[in-house]
Structure 1
Amino acid sequence: MATVGRLRSSNSELDFPNIEDYLPIGSTINDPAGELRLRDLIDISPTLTEAAGAIVDDSFTRCFKSIPSEPWNWNVYLFPLWCLGVLVRYLILFPARVIVLTIGWMIFLSCFIPVHLLLKANDALRRKLERLLVELLCCFFVASWTGVVKYHGPRPSIRPKQVYVANHTSMIDFIILQQMTAFAVIMQKHPGWVGLLQSTILESVGCIWFNRTEAKDREIVAKKLRDHVLGADNNPLLIFPEGTCVNNHYTVMFKKGAFELGCTDCPVAIKYNKIFVDAFWNSRKQSFTMHLLQLMTSWAVVCDVWYLEPQTLNPGETGIEFAERVRDIISVRAGLKKVPWDGYLKYSRPSPKHRESKQQSFAESVLRRLEEK
C-alpha cells in the first residue's frame, strides 16, 4: 500500500487517474469484496489485445475501401425516379455501350492484325500505327463509359530520360491516359483476358509487366526500366508508384524505384468525381470484368487529369525524399490525403472473412462476461 500511496502522490501531480478511484467506497485493490480486483485488470489484457487486432476502421484500411455515397432515393417521390434511371441505364445505355465497344474492337482488330503481321520490315511505321490503334481502342473504352475527362496541362511528348508518375485508383487510369498519349506502362501481370491483352496488344507499345510475388522479377524489371527511358523513340514510360489501387481519397507511399532512374519525373494527378460512379477498383472483392460492367451501367465516368510541372532530383536529395516531394505535388493538386502506409501491406493483410470471425469471437467473449456479471 505504501507503493500505491507513492504512485498516488506522483500521479496526482501529473493528473493521472488512480485505479482505486474507480473502486466502491471502502474497497481496495486487495479487498476480496471489491467489485474490481487487480487480477481482473490483468485478465482483460488478452481481450484488449484481441480488440485492437479486430479494429478495421483505421487509416490504412480506409485507403482500400469503397466509400459509398449518401442515398438520394429515400422518399416516395424520388424512388420512382431512381427506378426509372435503373431501367434507362440497364436497358438503353448499357446495350448501346456494348455495341459501341464491339464496333471499336472490330475496327481495332481488323487494322491491328494486318499492321502487326505485314509491317514487320518497317519497324518505325508499324510502331507508329500500333500506337495510334491502341489510342483509338482506349477512346472506344472511354466512350463505352460515357467518359467525361478534362485534361489540364501540356500533352506528354516522346523524349528520352523522362518518366510519368501518377496516383492509382483503377486499371482504367491507364486507359484514360492512354487515349490521349500511348504510354508504355509498368503494371502487375494479370490472369484471364486482361493478361492476354497484356501479352499481345499492350506489349506493342512497350509495356513492362512484373509479378510482385517473385523476388527475382524486380532486378529484371529494373533493368528494363533503365533501358526503356534511354530510348529516344520509345513511348513515354508511365509508372503508378503506389503499386496498388487506392480509393481516390488517399495516397499511400510511393515506391522509390521510379525516382532513382536518373531521369526527369513528370507528375500526373488523377481525380474522379463520384457523382455518377465510384471508379475505385477493389481487386480483392471484384474482378476487372465486373468492374467494367459497373462502369458501363453507370451514367458516366467523370474525372480530371493534370499534367504537372516536371521534377528533377535536387542535390543531396535521396530517392525516398524525391518520391515524397512528388507525392506532395500530386496529393495537393488532386485533393488527396497522404497516409504513411506501404500499399503492398494490402496483400499481406488477413482476409475479410478472417477479420469478421475474430470480431465475432471477440463480441461473444464480451457478451459472456456481461452475462456473468
Structure 2
Amino acid sequence: MASSSVAADMELDRPNLEDYLPSESLPQESARNLHLRDLLDISPVLTEAAGAIVDDSFTRCFKSNSPEPWNWNIYLFPLWCLGVVIRYGILFPLRSLTLLVGWIVFFAAFFPVHFLLKGQKLRSKIERWLVEMMCSVFVASWTGVIKYHGPRPSTRPHQVFVANHTSMIDFIILEQMTAFAVIMQKHPGWVGFIQKTILESVGCIWFNRNDLKDREVVAKRLRDHVQHPDNNPLLIFPEGTCVNNQYTVMFKKGAFELGCAVCPIAIKYNKIFVDAFWNSKK
C-alpha cells in the first residue's frame, strides 16, 4: 500500500506536458488556445535546474567563507576587551619575538655552513635540519597544533608525495615534519633570494610559467630527482592552485608520469580561529 501511494503521489507531481503543447499537436483533443500563464507554470522547474547548474559551478572551489559576525552584547564586551589586550599586548609580542629569535639563529648557522662547507654531505644534512627548524619556529609562532594520521613520510627513492593545496603555509606545515623538495613558481626579489640560497639546499625545483621550453627542463629534473636515493622526498601540489579546503580540483597528470610510487597527503584545516585559504583573487 505504501509503495502504491508513493507511486500515485509521484504521478501527481509530474507535470502534464500536454498542457504546454500547441493545440495542433493534440489530435485527440479539441483545439484550444495556449495562454501565457500555461508557459509560466514551468518556471519552478527552470529555476531548480538553473540553481543546480550554479551550485555545480567550478567557482565554488575558490569561494572564501565570510567570517561570522560577533554576537555583541554588553555582558560580553568586557571579555572582548580583555581578549584584545591578551592577543595584541601579550601573544603578538611573544610570537614576533619567537620569529625574530628563530631567524637570527637560522641565519647565524645557515650562511657559515652554506658558504664554508661546499660540496660536503655534512652541509646538506645541517641545511636540511635548519630548514625544518625554521619551519617549526613558524608553526610555534602561530601556536599551531598539528595532528597526524597514518604513517610519517619516509625517505626512500622512487617516490613522490602529492598533497592538496590551500595556502602558502602548506609548505611550512609539511616542511617542519620532513625536508621535502618542492616544485614551485620562481619569484623575483627577496622571495627569489630565499628560493635560490635557502630552499635550493633541500633540492627544491623552480619553474617559470612564461617560458614554454622550461616545461621540458623541469620534467627532466623531476625524473632525475626521484631516481637519486640521497635526494629529499619530492612534494608536488598537483592541483596547481589554492583551493578553499572544502573541495579538490582535478590533479595535473605530471606527478603521475614519473614512474615512481605516489604517496598522497591530505591537509585539513580547522577554521575555528582563522580560514587558511589563500584567495589569490583577493
TM range (shorter): 0.7 to 0.9
Q: Which residue of 2 aligns with 1:249?
A: 246
Letter in 2 for 1:250: Y
| Structure 1 residue 9 displacement after superposition | 6.9
Deviations 1:21-75 (A, max 9, x none): 3259xxxx9xxxxxx9xxxxxxxxxxxxxxx9xx987632221121124334333
Aligned length: 249
Q: Paired residue for 1:5, among 11, 23, 27? A: 23
Give the 5 Å matches for 1:153-172.
153-172=150-169
| CA root-mean-square deviation | 2.7
| Structure 1 residue 272 displacement after superposition | 0.3
Contact residue 110 and residue 127 of structure 2 kept, 8 A: yes
Q: Paired residue for 2:237, among 222, 225, 240? A: 240
Contact residue 72 and residue 78 of structure 1 kept, 8 A: no
Deviations 1:218-273 (A, max 9, x none): 11111110010001100000000101111101100100110111100000011000
CA distance in 1, matches of 2:174, 2:127: 16
Q: Which residue of 1 aligns with 2:65?
A: 67
Q: Which residue of 2 aligns with 1:173?
A: 170
Which range is displaced more, 93-102 or 230-239? 93-102
Letter in 2 for 1:6: E
Q: Which residue of 1 aligns with 2:88?
A: 90
CA distance in 1, matches of 2:169, 2:111: 24
Letter in 2 for 1:117: F
Which range is displaced more, 233-242 or 210-219? 210-219
| Structure 1 residue 151 displacement after superposition | 1.7
Q: Which residue of 2 aligns with 1:183?
A: 180
Q: List runs of 5+ in structure 1 lacking aligned partners.
A: 13-18, 30-35, 37-51, 286-373
- Whichever of the two has the greater Rg, that structure is 2
Give the 5 Å matches for 1:104-253.
104-122=102-120, 124-253=121-250
Q: Paired residue for 2:74, among 68, 73, 76? A: 76
| Structure 1 residue 211 displacement after superposition | 2.5
Q: Which residue of 2 aligns with 1:274?
A: 271
Letter in 1 for 2:167: S
CA distance in 2, matches of 1:84, 1:156: 42
Fraction of identical pairs, as percent: 73
Q: List runs of 5+ in structure 2 lacking aligned partners.
A: 1-20, 41-49
Q: Mark the CA change 1:165 to 1:121 in structure 2 (over 3 Å): closer, same or farther.
A: closer
CA distance in 1, matches of 2:26, 2:130: 77
Q: Mark the CA change 1:134 to 1:21 in structure 2 (over 3 Å): closer, same or farther.
A: same
Q: Mark the CA change 1:183 to 1:7 in structure 2 (over 3 Å): closer, same or farther.
A: farther
Deviations 1:72-117 (A, max 9, x none): 4333333443343233222321121111001000000000001101
Higher share in strand: 1
Give the 5 Å matches for 1:263-342.
263-285=260-282
State whether structure 2 residue 257 is matched by structure 1 residue 260: yes
With normalisation by structure 2, the TM-score equals 0.80
